[in-house]
Amino acid sequence: MDTRVPVLVALLLFSALPSLAVPPTGAAEPPWWETYSRDKDRNGISDLLEWKLAQEDRFFASGEARVFVRYDHHPDAADVARLEAAGATVTFRAQYLDLLGTTMPRALMPQVAHWENVVMLDDIGKGEPQMNEAVPAMGVDLAWELGFDGAGITIAVVDTGIDGTHVGLDDQDDNPLTDDPKILVYYNAYEDQEYDGRLSEDSGTHGTHVAGIAAGTGDGETAPDGTPYIGIAPQANLANVLSCCSGDIEDIIRGIEWTIANQDRFGIRVMTSSLGEQQVEFHIDNDGSSAWSQAVNAAVESGLVVTLSAGNEFGAATVAGCNTIDSPGDAPLPITVAALDKDLSLASYSSRGYTSDGRVKPDVAAIGSNIMAPNKGTGTGYTSKSGTSMATPLMAGIVALTLEANPDLTPAEVKDTIVAGYSIEREILDDSDPYTNDCSLLETRPDNEYGYGQADPRTFVEVAGQIDPLLQVIWTIPPQYAVVNNTTVEVKPEIWNGSWLTGGADSGGVPASGGVEVRFGASSWYPATDVSSNGDWSFWKIQVPPEAAKGNQTLSARLVVAPDRMSPINSASVVLLDEYEPAPAGGDASFWSVGRVALVIGVAALLGGLGGFALWIRRPV
């Protein structure tokens, strides 16, 4: 193959990214509007809004525009009065964001953009949907075997609505004689009105399908072999937040804010939304600062675990498929979900990172292709749809199972501990799919295709329900670096074949009947050997087994005190090499000599006061 092709592709990818330079330590981060990727000319009016205005009456009514007026403070009655006195109509006052929704005369916009304390005029665009075998393929049934079905968790579905008359969504036990509605509440964002969940309706068809994937009971039509189309968390309740797609993004933000304000009333722990910003002739820059993205960040900060779709902009297209994460999937705090085919390869349509400001997205991957779920208006029927829209509620159902196992988990713990630590790491170059497009410039975890990897429901609920935070196993892996665009970045460490891995653990004085166990990638758990002087597993060792899969792998260690009590798993993303480390010439010149290991141990003890430590020592076999 002509070597100029991969070089050209790499150059195009690099040129598509913003600078990855890290600001000096202690430097104040500029306010979002000074770096907003949608206002490249820094005139206070988003580039997308200006482009839409140039299309005359294609997007807005003649002479006016739908505009978010965004402030450097939370707008008050005086701000509303000033806008209305100038001729704008204020249609929305956000509770959790610093903005007002307006219908504004076009001639007024340049004037408002220069008002003191107004930092941006932004387009109020439109949202659009991101369009039986998934349960065993994802391993959801293995989580069900542990007794978890989502009971006690409510999932808010911010979408086109939910058909409450479908038998898979009308109640919890599929018995019409009992009073156990699945949909606890129905909120119509267009009307800003709340209804009894039994009156729930869908303004389209998308939301009903999404809700059934997350929490449908499976009642109604079955697969040809008689298997019901059961949702991921069939005993979870639902909140129907109808907010798309007859209106615009203002309605969706209104629905998000209603969910934030009412989460305690209805036990809402998870909010899922398979909506994305309406696409136009060009891809819109997404740096996580749009009003919609800031709204979903606010939802996470309020205590909700939020799952969002990555988008369907044919990520498999070479170069063009990269940097295609949609808003609000570009928001930093929610869990952005990529889609898998049923053979667990990345779906060709699934959007990929980076975001416009150089962050890695998505965060995790779940099956989204050919998912059977309730068909609105049929009463008992099911239909197949594909898209990151389908992967997102599947992930929301998995989150519901995880929160049922441990209701005390925070949104950050679900994303940064459970999803980041226990997803099955995947690599796009190992995919069986003929359409592959590696959008990650370096071997990192997460990456721009799978995020942290494939969701692992059984492991998620096991870890969530059995972790004892007082128990510890800690890896200390010497970092490795590479220089990209004149910036030094950390990359995955390479581990020689046959390496001896040593470490430490702290059981808090409790006998550890199971000892330390180590997993290499998706392997079974291997027992380590206790080499401590007093048999408390404070020191242990294990050698990388020859049968361990090589390449990009996640290594995991845990301390098992009892079958139902173990330490948090400590994971490390590495590259396992086929090669053995060459023998050093003239004696052991390795940095990891005995004296320097002792020095590192002493420094770690002084700095951290940690109950345990672990070191990787590379040796030839």
Largest Cα–Cα distance of the chain, in whole Å? Answer: 84
- Name the burial class of residue 3, with classes exposed (0-12), middle (13-18) and buried (19+) by CB atoms within 10 angstroms of its CB: exposed
Bridge partners for 514 per DSSP:
none
Residue 245: asked if its preceding bond is cis (omega within 30°), the reply is yes
Report CA torsion sign: 169, 175, 176, 182.
negative
Q: Which of 206, 302, 447, 556 is catalytic?
A: 206
* Close Cβ partners of 359 (under 8 Å, ≥ 6 residues apart): 288, 330, 332, 353
The pairing of beta strand 89-93 with beta strand 99-105: antiparallel
With tokens 């898209």, the residue in question is 387
> Which stretch of DSSP H or E encloses residue 401?
helix 388-405
389 tagged catalytic: yes
What are the tokens at 36?
């907003």
Q: Which of 159, 163, 171, 330 is catalytic?
A: 159
> Any idea how long the chain is?
621
Tokens read off for 126: 């439109």
Other CB atoms within 10 Å distance of the CB of residue 1: 5
Whether the Cβ atoms of residue 99 and residue 75 lie closer than 8 Å to each other? yes
Cα 149 from Cα 397, distance rounded (Å): 9
Count of alpha carbons within 13 Å of 48, Cβ hemisphere only? 25
Which of 379, 545, 518, 350 lies closest to 439 in space, CA to CA?
350
Q: How many angstroms separate the CA atoms of 122 and 109, rounded?
A: 10
How many angstroms separate the CA atoms of 307 and 214, rounded? Answer: 11
Active site residue 114: no
Backbone phi, psi, residue 32, to 5°: -55, -35
Interatomic CA distance for residues 376 and 208, integer angstroms: 6
Please tell me whether residue 491 adopts helix, strand or coil conformation. Answer: strand
Nearest 5°: the CA angle 194, 199, 204 is 90
Considering 273, 293, 327, 389, which one is annotated as catalytic?
389
Contacts of 456 (CB under 8 A, 6+ apart): 139, 422, 423, 424
CA distances from 305 to 150, 399, 438, 618 (A): 14, 8, 29, 40
Transcribe 588-599 into DSSP letters: ---TT-HHHHHH
Cβ atoms < 10 Å from Cβ of 429: 10
Amino acid at 207: G
206 is catalytic: yes
Q: Contact, 299 vs 259, CB < 8 A?
A: yes
Token pair listed for 591:
């940095």
Asked if 450 contacts 367 with a C-beta cutoff of 8 angstroms, the reply is no
Q: Residue 428 has which token pair? A: 């796009």
Listing DSSP states for 243-286 in one string gives: --SSS-HHHHHHHHHHHHHHHHHHTEEEEEE-EEEPP-SSPPP-
Distance CA 243, CA 206 (A): 12
- What positions carry a catalytic annotation? 159, 206, 389
